[in-house]
Structure 1
Amino acid sequence: MSAALEPATALPSAWEIPADFGGGGAEPYELALRAGGGLLTVVSDGADDDAAPLDVSAYLAPATAAERRVLALTSGPVLDVGCGPARMVRAAIETGRLALGIDISAVAVGHARARGLPVLRRSVFETLPAEGTWGAVLLLDGNIGIGGDPAALLARASELLRPGGRMLVETHADGDRSARFVAQLVHPVGARSGWFPWAEVGERAATRLLDGLGMQTATVRSGGRTFVLATR
């Protein structure tokens, strides 16, 4: 994977026809959500020996103390992009803030709504409520990979913020990581999703992209995770 964020050459159809995260195939992400959690793996370009873990159980649990600390670095209404079952939406609401989650997974959205949480089944690249007025936009849990084009995603997220609003972006553990690829989710029982575009971006690459958008950035570390906090 190159530092220039060049797309992988394998399986070009995943770039030509964007797929939902973990969608298609046997829907392992939705299987894990229905089962109440589980450890999936993210496989890039068919390389099963280069798989990264994805702990769906963490998405179904309450927000951690570390996540609540970084959320507190923002203010105003919160938009959680790729919210999953919406634990961060709940965390924001519990502190008295307005919050909305968006996600493309019908099962994740249904799970959140069943618990009374405000979530829309919608892509960040579609028209959204209150564009340009959000105090905080969250891209956590590797969601900077959404769509496989971090530059486009961060530019879109910045449009959603009000002046002075803050974007909270969780980055890859390797600060120099900068890669775009096609990926697949794999369930322990062997169920596989369709291929979808994805990306992994470390702190330094994310900071460069955000600097290019004219945003002020700072690196925050909490709970062993790294975040870039960007102010519009």
Structure 2
Amino acid sequence: MYATALTGLGTEIEYADGTRTALEAGRWFAPIPGDEAMLARCRGLTLDIGSGPGRLTAELARRGVPALGIDITPQAVRLTRRAGGVALLGDVFGDLPWSGRWSSALLADGNIGIGGHPHALLRRVRQLLRPGGEVVVELAGPATASRVDRVRLRRPEVVGDWFGWAVVSVSDIARLARTGGLTTVEHHHEHGRWFARLRRPARPAPRPRAVRETPRPRAVRDRKVGRDAS
């Protein structure tokens, strides 16, 4: 169903309560105002998680930033490659190259919602980042309540399976980041979109060795024993 949406055919998101909204996949093919807030913060080897048709992956490549897009849909991978980006068919929770060595990661266009478990997703991203690496996350605004929805994709003649999708408010990201082992570096707001930059802490400094008490000279111990005996 998602692959069909990327072809431009009309697809809707249906919620468990019966509400339906259009899946506006067409907007992911061209630059969106506010993209620069994410692109400018990607430094070094960058993983674009849920890259879709690859507008961000391809733009990073044009800027000379080594980037890899991953998506679970072959159509998305083909579109990313056609746009000039490097892409791989894969799941963020599966085996991925250079695990623990990525300098930056992107969770754009609400992809913090992948799987409906943002805690688990951030913990997984932490595993993929190198120590000191950062993830740029697009979030809902502060007036939006964080939640997990049960949704499915549908067209008039086809209905997909139900799956979980999370919405995370910028007001809640600091708490979620901590549960995922990440620290919040900054929040930013641009063109009506909200973002946060989260960092995997560098390796902790080694614990100091326990300091042993300096033994007293034997003569001092003997004098103390003599006093106690008297």
TM-score, structure 1 normalization? 0.78
Question: In 2 relative to 1, CA 202–222 (structure 1 residues): closer, same or farther, beyond 3 Å?
Answer: same
C-alpha separation in 1, matches of 2:79 and 2:144: 35
Give the match for residue 58 of structure 1.
Answer: 27
C-alpha separation in 1, matches of 2:138 and 2:9: 21
- Larger mean Cα displacement after TM superposition, 51-60 or 140-149: 51-60
Per the alignment, in what secondary structure is the counterpart of residue 141 of structure 1? coil
Give the match for residue 208 of structure 1.
Answer: 175
Contact kept, 8 Å, 1:38 with 1:57, in 2: the verdict is no
1:7-46 aligned within 5 A: 27=1, 29-34=2-7, 37=8, 40-45=11-16
Contact kept, 8 Å, 2:174 with 2:184, in 1: the verdict is no
Contact kept, 8 Å, 2:142 with 2:171, in 1: the verdict is no
- For structure 1, the residue ranges without an aligned partner over 5 or more in a row are 1-26
Q: Which has the higher contact order (CA 8 A, sep 6+)?
A: 1
CA drift of 1:175 comes to 4.6
- For structure 2, the residue ranges without an aligned partner over 5 or more in a row are 201-230
C-alpha separation in 1, matches of 2:70 and 2:95: 11
Question: In 2 relative to 1, CA 59–164 (structure 1 residues): closer, same or farther, beyond 3 Å?
Answer: same
Contact kept, 8 Å, 2:148 with 2:165, in 1: the verdict is yes
Query: Is structure 2 residue 86 aligned with structure 1 residue 118?
Result: yes
Give the match for residue 6 of structure 1.
Answer: none
Q: Percent identity?
A: 35
Task: For 2:3, give the aligned amino acid.
Answer: E
Contact kept, 8 Å, 1:101 with 1:118, in 2: the verdict is yes
Give the match for residue 197 of structure 1.
Answer: 164
Per the alignment, in what secondary structure is the counterpart of residue 36 of structure 2? helix
CA drift of 1:44 comes to 2.0
Q: 4+ runs of 1 displaced by more than 4 Å?
A: none
Give the match for residue 99 of structure 1.
Answer: 67
Give the match for residue 109 of structure 2.
Answer: 141
Contact kept, 8 Å, 2:152 with 2:163, in 1: the verdict is yes
Q: Deviations over 1:108-151 (max 9, x none)?
A: 11222234421111000011111111111101111111111110
Question: In 2 relative to 1, CA 194–174 (structure 1 residues): closer, same or farther, beyond 3 Å?
Answer: farther
Give the match for residue 19 of structure 1.
Answer: none
C-alpha separation in 2, matches of 1:154 and 1:40: 28
What is the number of equivalent residue pairs in this alignment? Answer: 199
Contact kept, 8 Å, 1:79 with 1:101, in 2: the verdict is yes
Task: For 1:33, give the aligned amino acid.
Answer: L
TM-score, structure 2 normalization? 0.79
CA drift of 1:190 comes to 5.6
CA drift of 1:78 comes to 1.0
CA drift of 1:53 comes to 4.2
Backbone CA RMSD of aligned residues: 1.9
- Larger mean Cα displacement after TM superposition, 65-74 or 155-164: 65-74
